Chains A and B, each alone.
Chain A
Amino acid sequence: MGRVPIVRIGDTLLATVQDDLYDRDALALQEELSAMLEQTEARGVLIDVSVVETVDSYLGRILRDVALGARLLGAHTVVVGIQPAVAVTLVELGLEIKGIHTALNPEKGMARLRRLLAAEEARDRSRVH
């Protein structure tokens, strides 16, 4: 258990959660992602939670806050690899996940990010004309 490594790939930050997170590790992830978004001017964040067996309301809220915070810094977030059992549990728990983009795996998540960024660029262009 411990810190979540974050690597930069092009204009995307990839955070791969390695184990069930303590609360303080989840908070650290949130803070480090914000700091790295500011430093790197990355436009996408991919959070891989495929090994996470338990997502409770606390971690669910942190993931949502990460996505909202990244949005304010000009980036989109996609959470990838939510285990099927975790997905069922989150729905029953009643977690509000509006605003969180998800994908089955990192590859699909990356494609999702590309589409989100392309749509944003198209909007920006149409505003100029």
Chain B
Amino acid sequence: MIAPGSTELTLPVASEYDIVAARQRARDVAKGLGFSLVDQSRIATAVSELTRNVVRYATDSRGEVRIRPLERSARGVGIEIVVADDGPGIPDVAEAMRAGVSGGKGLGMGLPGTRRLMDEMEIDSEPGRGTLVTIRKWRR
């Protein structure tokens, strides 16, 4: 059991092997926090989508995944995952969020799909300066 407020986990991303590692760690943390099986699946899948974007698009496929438990009086227990890279960035975040399944390059379903799986998602990105995606889910 991982107590809310315990320290943040930081996982390096450098190859496709880290996609599976990152989503399994996120699932473990979510399970420890008491998330339901369906929520564990949503969280693991969201982390898989975002980490794959790093492996596909970031410079040298490098980035990092940070996972931390949250506890807020208004929302209760939650989980926050930050997926960061210093790759080429997303030129038009709004467009990336609108893109459909057939986006072709793969970002298509990734971002809008990830948003639907989570309660909150923020994207901070600038061309040439990398991308920072923060997702949160609150325990029901």
Chain A interfacial positions (CB closer than 8 Å to B): 1, 20-24, 53-58, 83-86, 88-89, 92-96
Contacts and interface: CB of A to CB of B under 8 A. Distances in A.
Contact of A89 (B19, B20, B24, B41): B41
Interface stretch (B65-73, B86-94, B110-118): B110-118
Interface residues of B, number: 26
A1 B20 CA distance: 10
Nearest to B23: A54
B11 to A, nearest CB: 16
B37 interface: yes
Nearest to A90: B45
Contacts, number: 72
Interface in B104-135: 106, 109-110, 112-114, 116-117
Main SS at interface, chain B: helix
Contacts of B101: 94-96
A23 B117 contact: no
B27 A56 contact: no
A55 B42 CA distance: 10
15 contacts: A22-B16, A23-B52, A56-B49, A57-B109, A57-B110, A57-B113, A58-B48, A83-B41, A85-B40, A88-B38, A92-B42, A93-B109, A94-B109, A95-B101, A95-B113
Q: Which 5 A-B residue pairings sit nearest by Cβ, starting from the closest?
A: A85-B41, A56-B48, A93-B113, A85-B38, A85-B37
